[in-house]
Structure 1
Amino acid sequence: MNPDNLQRTDRRTTEIQFPLQIKAVVIDLDGTLLDTAMDLASAANKMLTELGKPELPVATIQSFIGKGIQRLVKRSLTNSLDEEPDPELFNKALPIYQRNYHENLYTHTRPFPEVVEGLDTLKKDGFRLACITNKAEAFTLPLLRATNLLHYFEMVLSGDTLPKKKPDPLPLLHACNHFQIKPYELLLIGDSLNDAMAARAAGCHIFCVPYGYNEGRGVNELNCDAVVSSLLEATKLIKK
């Protein structure tokens, strides 16, 4: 991690002027681009059934989303955000979850409202685009293809692409290097604490959407430059 970037972790200490002048936009996947909650929850409940455990309400499982599939499996097994399951049970459950999710990856998954319109506008306005997610590549690329979003992105970084993932700043700094821009010329659009922490650590701008999976918490408590109702609204707050 670059120490110079660590000094830029809180932009609330300075006045934000809109529209922000940036060169590239990176966008989170689950809860920002795609509404994946129903398929994630379905896979979790199928896993629980195979293990002889009771199913959980979809709303409960949705509140467990936000820290990757391994954490989702642990939370589903314990029905809590922080408890750790028996390691043997977890090792048995994880491949069951992955199989069930892979078999029903995009049964109900769809882009959120105004995602496609927002991506079209960003492209038209000349911004370079990347998708950065903590989801494994084996799930990320098929989802982007199935929902016809893959072609928008110059680069896709999944949770297993680099040695570290969000909230570490490495994926965002990697994107900056790829686009050959400074961190303050990059905007991340996301929905969770992971996104906000990664952006602040990297020194990037961050917009948050309120409809995603921030572990059941509101995004207004996150340290972001703006809360936007959609990707399309985000385009009105930036310029090249």
Structure 2
Amino acid sequence: MTIDNKQLLMFDFDGTLINSVPDLAAATNEMLQQLGREPYPLSTIEGWIGNGSRMLVARALSGERIVSETLAPSEIDDAEAIFLEVYAAHDVSQTTAYPDVDTGLAQLKQAGYTLALVTNKPIRFVPHILEALGWQAHFSVVMGGDSLPQKKPDPAPLHHVCETLQISADKALMIGDSVNDILAGQRAGVDTVGVTYGYNYGQPISESQPTYVFDSFAKLTAWLLSDDLIL
């Protein structure tokens, strides 16, 4: 099967296209301080990102990646409301594109690929970041973590994108930095691409057994644009 058979590229956002850790960490620590709790280093919070805002908040309240069973849902609800308010007030000026992503997306779009964004970030925050980066026109479909009742690693968002665009799963790739992206792709019957430079809780993305692995967006782009690529 050649690359010509692939039409749809579904991208994760945080950790794949953008480095949003500084802004997410700042919002998390401001939330904790409002609750009278101690802040955490950026490197610690980085390991909690990837499962949506509620899980990030629950991990911050627990002080570790494994959420404490003593946390009440109402406690998480109240803290998440603070987090979302704080994050919405941030100008996301510290959220930046990873190297070569800006030019790479433009090249892939120009080459005829259909691009979609499938993130676990709440959808309310996505358009502003896309606008700040000038990427609004790149993506035919944009899915947030609350666009459907299910989010990655559930395959539902990927199924929804394929159905909306009327492109079959075998003609799509799911590209991401975390186990959630790879699992979602595998469960949706979509070939997967893992990138090594993202978050993924400090675990090598190769352990999730993606179909392919790349250590830079430039190499990924070159691969996707290669005339003689064999999948």
Task: Supply the distance in 2 between the matched residues of 1:161 and 1:32 (Cα, whole angstroms).
Answer: 19
8 Å CA contact retained: 1:31, 1:213: yes
Aligned with 2:11 (options 27, 38, 41): 27
Task: Supply the distance in 1 between the matched residues of 2:168 and 2:216 (Cα, whole angstroms).
Answer: 25
Matching residue of 1:40: 24
The root-mean-square deviation of aligned C-alpha atoms, in Å, is: 1.7
- Please say if 1:52 is aligned against 2:36: yes
Equivalenced residue count is: 224
Q: Secondary structure at the match of 2:201?
A: coil
Alpha-carbon offset, residue 19 of structure 1: 4.7
- Equivalent runs, 1:50-199 vs 2, <5 Å: 50-84=34-68, 85-199=71-185
Alpha-carbon offset, residue 107 of structure 1: 2.3
1:74-125, Cα deviation, whole Å (9 max, x unpaired): 1011111112324443232111111111111512001110101210110121
Amino acid at match of 2:58: K
Deviates more, 1:212-221 or 1:29-38: 212-221
Matching residue of 1:4: none
CA spacing shift, 1:80–1:208, aligned 2, 3 Å: same
Matching residue of 1:5: none
8 Å CA contact retained: 1:129, 1:153: yes
Task: Supply the distance in 2 between the matched residues of 1:143 and 1:224 (Cα, whole angstroms).
Answer: 27
Alpha-carbon offset, residue 64 of structure 1: 0.5
Amino acid at match of 1:74: A
Task: Supply the distance in 1 between the matched residues of 2:126 and 2:91 (Cα, whole angstroms).
Answer: 10
**5+ residue gaps in structure 2?**
none
1:174-233, Cα deviation, whole Å (9 max, x unpaired): 111122222110011101111001100111111111111212212121221111123332
Q: Secondary structure at the match of 1:238?
A: helix
Deviates more, 1:213-222 or 1:42-51: 213-222
Aligned with 1:204 (options 164, 169, 190): 190
Matching residue of 1:227: 213
Matching residue of 1:214: 200
CA spacing shift, 1:74–1:184, aligned 2, 3 Å: same
Task: Supply the distance in 2 between the matched residues of 1:147 and 1:106 (Cα, whole angstroms).
Answer: 11
Task: Supply the distance in 2 between the matched residues of 1:93 and 1:174 (Cα, whole angstroms).
Answer: 30
8 Å CA contact retained: 1:184, 1:205: yes
Taking structure 2 as the reference length, the TM-score comes to 0.91
Task: Supply the distance in 2 between the matched residues of 1:86 and 1:55 (Cα, whole angstroms).
Answer: 21
Amino acid at match of 2:37: K
